Amino acid sequence: MSFAFSTGTFRDDYGFRNSAEGIARFPFPFTEERYMYSVNVEPHVPGPKGSAFEHPFDIDEHYLAEMAERDLVLRRDPLRCQSMPHMIQAEWDLVELVMTALARDYPQWFHLARRGDDWHWTNRPMAIDQRFTFGDAASLPCPPLEYIGRQVQGDFTLLDQREDNLWLDAGILTSQGKWSLDFDLGMNFIEWHAPVPLAHGLGVFERALKFLLALRLDGPVRRLNWSICVNPRLDTSLESYPEWGPEHFAVTPETVGHMLQLRVELQSLYRLPRSNAVAFSIRCYLISLDELRTNPAWAARFAAVLRDLHPDLLRYKALAPYRDMIIDRLTRDLT
């Protein structure tokens, strides 16, 4: 893939735009005309060339813009990156996982040379050249989780496995969809999913947890999750709600097309070797309704999903006030 990195922004003037290629490779989440929770997990195996699934960690045209946004958020709120002391091995596991994957899949941008514990990492787009000792946190300019998290798109949590549960004991999150790492840190899988409606009654989380506890080193998995957001904003955390909350009032039938975004999370999970923890990557993709309309089949399907969406999900995904407006925008003049 060859492209120029975009210089869009995810706040203030919201300069974020998808190119035509970016739209074509958008991970559209709906496989049928309706949506309900399920254990929609599948092996995270390489997908079609050029797609968002081609590589385990997708680097796209927004790479540098997202890394600049992450830096901004972390400077303002350092608690977006937290790790409990017992997660240090998992942090290093993640460094290895991401660096080896990026160097293998994007050799034009990333390079990793390792001799024993002496590692040499090169990130050309970000102009980083770093020699360090694997396992020695003092040899990096910041803790390992933050170091690698600042160089790869998507949020990460590290889940400790014990007592037949997964515990959210570390994470770096600057693009979370309406939740808070600082609040959820230390919770287990059932606890941090507590606010989700309906799925508990369906037994989704019990089954998903059992599945993830048996996650294999050679068997990463993925699923797509979706919601909406107003404006192409990555940082829709609870901490920054005062900044983005009021923007909802600006959505009108005239502005909904460019303001409202379908927000898709490509979530992938990896067993980590030394810590036996699980790495959870939450890679966020945004597309405005007007961009979505360039693909009439997607627009029609999204409208159909919204038309029949369960009222509890409409509320949980904060869709209720906009549903009719969105459907109208998606279907009007559509051929």
Partner 1 sequence: MTGAIPVRIGSIVQEAPLVKRFRLEPLDGRLPDFSGGAHVVVTMLDGARGRRNAYSLVNPPGDPDRYEIAVRRVADGRGGSIFLHDRVRVGDILTVTPPANLFPLDWRARRHLLIAGGIGITPFVAMTAQLAALGAAFELHYAMRSPLAGAFADRLQQLHGDAVHLYAGSHGERLPIARLIADQLLGTHLYVCGPARLIDEVRATAHAAGWPDAHVHAERFDSARPGAPFTARLARSGRRIAIETDESLLEALEREGVAIDSLCRGGACGRCVTSVAACDGTIEHADHYLSAADKASGRLILPCVSRVRGDGLVLDL
Name the helix (H) or strand (E) containing 265. strand 260-271
Q: Give yes or no for residue 160 binding partner 1 (CB under 8 A).
A: yes
- Scanning 50-58, 193-201, 214-222, 280-288 for contacts with partner 1 by CB under 8 A, the matching segment is 214-222
Is residue 223 among the annotated active site residues?
Answer: yes
51 near partner 1, rule: CB under 8 A: no
Give min distance, CB of 313 to partner 1, in A: 30
Does 162 bind partner 1 (CB under 8 A)? Our answer is yes
Residues in the interface with partner 1 (CB under 8 A) total 22
Residue range at the interface with partner 1 (CB under 8 A); choices 149-157, 213-221, 257-265, 285-293: 213-221
Q: Which of 223, 263, 283, 329 is catalytic?
A: 223
Q: What does R_g of the chain's alpha carbons equal in angstroms?
A: 20
Residue 214 Cβ vs partner 1, minimum distance, rounded to whole Å: 5
In 3D space, the residue among 262, 169, 173, 189 whose CA is nearest the CA of residue 224 turns out to be 262
Residue closer to partner 1 by CB (options 7, 133) is: 133
Paired strand residues for 261: 229, 288
Q: Binders of partner 1 among 73-92, rule CB under 8 A?
A: 84, 86-87, 89
Q: Are strands 155-162 and 128-133 parallel, antiparallel or unpaired?
A: unpaired
Q: Is 266 helix (H, G, I), strand (E, B) or coil?
A: strand
**How many Cα neighbours within 13 Å face the side chain of 138?**
0
Q: Is 161 in the site for partner 1 (CB under 8 A)?
A: yes
> Is residue 43 part of the contact set for partner 1 (CB under 8 A)?
yes
Nearest 5°: phi and psi at 313? -70, -35
Q: Which is nearer to partner 1, 158 or 304 (CB)?
A: 158
Residue 273 binding partner 1, by CB under 8 A? yes
Helix (H) or strand (E) holding 83: strand 81-83
Residue 159 main-chain phi, psi, to 5 deg: -110, 120
Interface stretch with partner 1, choices 20-28, 75-83, 231-239, 269-277 (CB under 8 A)? 269-277
Query: β-pairing, 42-43 with 81-83?
Result: unpaired
What gap in Å lies between CA 155 and CA 158, rounded to an integer? 10
Tell me the window of 13-21, 31-39, 51-59, 267-275 that interacts with partner 1 (CB under 8 A).
Answer: 267-275
Q: Which residue, 6 or 268, is less far from partner 1 as judged by CB?
A: 268
- Cβ closest to partner 1, residue 24 vs residue 213: 213
Contact between 216 and partner 1 by CB under 8 A: the answer reads yes
Full DSSP string of 1-32 = ---PPP---SSTT------HHHHHT-----SS
Least CB distance from residue 277 to partner 1, whole Å?
9
Output the smallest distance, CB 138 to partner 1, in A: 14
DSSP 245: G
Query: With CB under 8 A as the contact rule, which of the stretches 23-31, 159-167, 191-199, 262-270 interacts with partner 1?
Result: 159-167
CA pair distance 5, 27, nearest whole angstrom: 19
Site membership for partner 1, residue 217 (CB under 8 A): yes
Least Å distance, CB 47 to partner 1, is: 17
Burial class (CB in 10 A: 0-12, 13-18, 19+), 45: exposed
Dihedral (CA of 204, 207, 213, 217) sign: negative
Residue type at 136 in one-letter notation? D
Give catalytic residues, as residue numbers.
Answer: 223
- The binding site for partner 1 (CB under 8 A) comprises 43, 84, 86-87, 89, 96, 160-163, 210, 213-214, 216-219, 271, 273-276
